[in-house]
């Protein structure tokens, strides 16, 4: 950041953003360097013609339009699989938006959003899962609560340790009425 005291100091030898004759004042130099850094933080795109085999990791939001085989790990970022994206990988991200095809398990710490025409053949694990009409999904969904560790059963606050589920014990009506079975079979 530019300070009044910095303007009084002589320009550093060897040039630089505040060097004399550059035609740029120190405030403009700071703004332009912030803009360059801002470009580095934008989402990264992998185009349709790109094929990646192996492990893909990063710390930026990523959009994939190409093919990826292996493992994708963006634990603190958003992964978007575009309509042309074809993924055969284990996926780990903060949030995953699927418009293309994924074959493999998808794990997200916040949300998985399977959009129209998107496809997942594998298991999904995330606290929030949205599946649009027209999407294809084959697998299981584990919607663990935030803060719960994967593989750890979610505790139910109202559950009593001695209580038996209603479906596990036969009701009094089915025990007392042996004629109920033929009546439910329908006409012959």
Q: What is the pTM of this model?
A: 0.59
| CA dist 31 → 14, 17, 83, 182 (Å) | 21, 11, 36, 83
| CA dist 62 → 59, 130, 143, 180 (Å) | 9, 20, 24, 60
Contact 115, 131 (CB under 8 A): no
What confidence tens digit (pLDDT) does each residue in 151-166 have?
554 444 444 444 444 4
Give the pLDDT score at 90: 97
What confidence tens digit (pLDDT) does each residue in 16-60 have?
444 444 455 544 544 444 444 444 566 789 999 999 999 999 999
Contact 57, 74 (CB under 8 A): yes
């Amino acid at each position: 950041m530019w300070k009044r005291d910095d303007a009084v100091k002589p320009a550093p030898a060897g040039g630089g953003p505040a060097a004399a004759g550059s035609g740029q004042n120190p405030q403009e130099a700071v703004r332009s360097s912030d803009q360059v850094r801002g470009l580095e933080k934008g989402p990264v795109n992998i185009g349709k013609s790109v094929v990646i085999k192996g492990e893909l990791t990063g710390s930026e939001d990523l959009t994939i339009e190409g093919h990826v085989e292996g493992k994708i790990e963006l634990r603190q970022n958003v992964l978007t699989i575009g309509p042309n994206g074809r993924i055969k990988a284990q996926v780990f991200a903060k949030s995953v938006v699927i418009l293309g095809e994924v074959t493999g398990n998808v794990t997200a710490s916040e949300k998985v959003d399977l959009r129209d025409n998107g496809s997942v053949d594998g298991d999904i694990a995330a606290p929030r899962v949205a599946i649009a009409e027209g999407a294809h999904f084959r697998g299981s969904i584990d919607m663990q609560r935030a803060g719960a560790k994967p593989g750890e059963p979610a505790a139910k606050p109202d559950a009593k340790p001695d209580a038996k589920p209603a479906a596990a014990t036969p009701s009094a009506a089915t025990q007392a009425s042996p004629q109920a079975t033929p009546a439910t079979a329908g006409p012959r």
